[in-house]
Amino acid sequence: MSGVDVCFHTSLLPNAHARDAETITYLAKDYTDVSSSYTVPLSYNYCVGDTETEWLPSSWPGGNVYNLNKNASFANSNVVKGFPMFPTKESDGLYFTPEHDKDSDETIVSLSPAEMSLPFGNDPTAVQISVAASSTVGYISASYFAQFFSVQDYRIKHSSSLSAVQKVELRTVVNKLQDLVWSTGLLENVSTMSGWIKPNPDTMPSANESNYWFTDGGYTDGPAAAQAIARYQQRYGTSTHIKLIISNQNHYTNNNNNIIDYFSYNGNEGTEPGAFTWPMGVGAGPQMTPQMSKQIFAESITAEELSKLFEPVSGTNLTIAVLPVATTVDNGESVCCVIDCSLFSLHLLLNRLNLSEL
């Protein structure tokens, strides 16, 4: 394995509720400007090379810390004001300002970036980093879960299988759940906390205001291709013709949403690469919140064109496609390089311990 960089792709939750400290910390692009607070997950990578390890990006967001009344109700609170909820509205923007500073009973304390503690003591174990990368229900922790529940609320409202009475009951339960989760911190550790230092998590301390949480990397870049290319360009430059193999096992019925996002298509039209947007498949797949646009290639493709590229591998649940030669978009920091893409897509349902098909 010498010469192979191994990268783990994870996502950083935009806010962190530290129950014991009675604070909520909003990560911010610029910690001195609360209007730059993030409301959606951020992409983070941890790469291990032959002689070094590195977080990408190398710097961490600063945090704006707010004191909270732990007994306050969540459902109608200002904790999530300004968050982009589903369904998207004309008024939705991103980097929205959580409106705590407008409340008289709350106090702003701004932390400098240096005061945000580095995750896992800045020296994660293999288990810790893969736990962070795989926190698949992390969206149900912190106040970020309001965005997840906005999708569920929409589904309940528009369900054809639920009666009107059932819809009312279910929405009541969902609202009660949000309050319960918020007031007790019941599910905070379904995401992965940065203050987990010792290998065995049974000694993990409670979160404080300088900690934050990771959730599944699939919520910012499903197949991690953007991260792989970023790491390669960082190490070897941008002038090389390279090949990219994507093995895509994300979704049972439709694996293509998280591939087409890499190209220019009608779903990201008008959105600059790297800007935030509601991705394809919100409410119907693993994407439930706005994300940073994952367009990394300048070329355009349609869903139909992409689907036609796939060919089945006889006797297996696999399909293989050779994607068009692509050129990385100019991000203002690098020139483009050309990439050949091969895509292995696995359509196999293996979400229970039933090994009869192995």
Partner 1 sequence: MQNDAVSTPSSNTKRGLEEQNSEDLRKQAMAAFFIAAAATTLASASAQNQNDILWSASGGGWRAMVAQSAYAQVFSKLGILGGHDNTNPQIKVMAATSGSSWFSSQFAFSQNYFNAVVNGNATSLGKFTKAWMDAYATTQSNILPNCGILQELCDMGASSEPVLSEVAALIPFALNYNRSWPEIVYAMYNATSNMVYDDPNMVFFGKVGRLEWSRCLFSHIAFAKCTCT
Taking CB under 8 A as the criterion, which residues in 252-291 touch partner 1?
258
Helix (H) or strand (E) holding 108: strand 108-111
- Indicate the angle between helix axes 145-157 and 164-184, nearest 10 degrees: 170
User: Tokens in use for 75?
Assistant: 């459902």
Residue 357: CB minimum distance to partner 1, A: 10
Indicate whether 309 belongs to the interface with partner 1 (CB under 8 A). no
Residue 277: CB minimum distance to partner 1, A: 20
Please pick, from the candidates 3, 71, 89, 164, the single residue that binds partner 1 as defined by CB under 8 A: 3
15 in Cβ contact with 24 (< 8 Å)? yes
Q: Give the phi and the psi of residue 122 in degrees, each rounded to 5.
A: 60, 25
Q: Which one, 109 or 325, has the nearer CB to partner 1? A: 325
Please pick, from the candidates 58, 253, 315, 333, the single residue that binds partner 1 as defined by CB under 8 A: 315
Please pick, from the candidates 29, 102, 157, 176, the single residue that binds partner 1 as defined by CB under 8 A: 176
Total residues at interface with partner 1 (CB under 8 A): 110
The DSSP line for 25-50 is: EEEESSTT-GGGB--S-EEEEEEE-S
Q: Which part of the chain contacts partner 1 (CB under 8 A), choosing from 17-25, 100-108, 235-243, 263-271?
A: 235-243
Q: Which one, 126 or 275, has the nearer CB to partner 1? A: 126
Indicate whether 232 belongs to the interface with partner 1 (CB under 8 A). yes
β-pair type (338-346, 242-248): parallel
Indicate whether 294 belongs to the interface with partner 1 (CB under 8 A). no
Q: Which part of the chain contacts partner 1 (CB under 8 A), choosing from 4-12, 67-75, 103-111, 269-277?
A: 4-12
Letters for 126-165 (x = contact with partner 1 by CB under 8 A, - = none) are: xxxxxx-xxxxxx-x----------xx--xx--x-xx---
Q: Which part of the chain contacts partner 1 (CB under 8 A), choosing from 27-35, 111-119, 240-248, 298-306?
A: 240-248
| Cβ neighbour number for residue 43 with a 10 Å cutoff | 21
Residue 64: CB minimum distance to partner 1, A: 26
Distance CA 224, CA 303 (A): 20
Q: Which one, 2 or 91, has the nearer CB to partner 1? A: 2
Site for partner 1 in 22-81 (CB under 8 A): 45, 47-53
Tokens 């019941």 locate to 186
Q: Which one, 65 or 259, has the nearer CB to partner 1? A: 259
Indicate whether 17 belongs to the interface with partner 1 (CB under 8 A). no
Distance CA 215, CA 193 (A): 9
Distance CA 358, CA 355 (A): 5
Please pick, from the candidates 58, 163, 200, 253, the single residue that binds partner 1 as defined by CB under 8 A: 200
Q: Cβ neighbours of residue 292 under 8 Å, at least 6 residues apart?
A: 40, 42, 43, 220, 274, 275, 276, 277
Site for partner 1 in 73-112 (CB under 8 A): none
Please pick, from the candidates 14, 98, 218, 279, the single residue that binds partner 1 as defined by CB under 8 A: 218
Site for partner 1 in 323-342 (CB under 8 A): 325, 340-342
Indicate whether 235 belongs to the interface with partner 1 (CB under 8 A). yes
Residue 82: CB minimum distance to partner 1, A: 25
CA gyration radius, the chain = 21
298 in Cβ contact with 326 (< 8 Å)? yes
Paired residues of 344 in beta bridges: 247, 320
75 in Cβ contact with 84 (< 8 Å)? no
314 to 233, 270, 343: CA distances (angstroms) = 36, 40, 16
Q: Which one, 66 or 263, has the nearer CB to partner 1? A: 263
Distance CA 127, CA 10 (A): 13
| Cβ neighbour number for residue 118 with a 10 Å cutoff | 12
Q: Which one, 70 or 347, has the nearer CB to partner 1? A: 347
Please pick, from the candidates 108, 313, 330, 335, the single residue that binds partner 1 as defined by CB under 8 A: 313
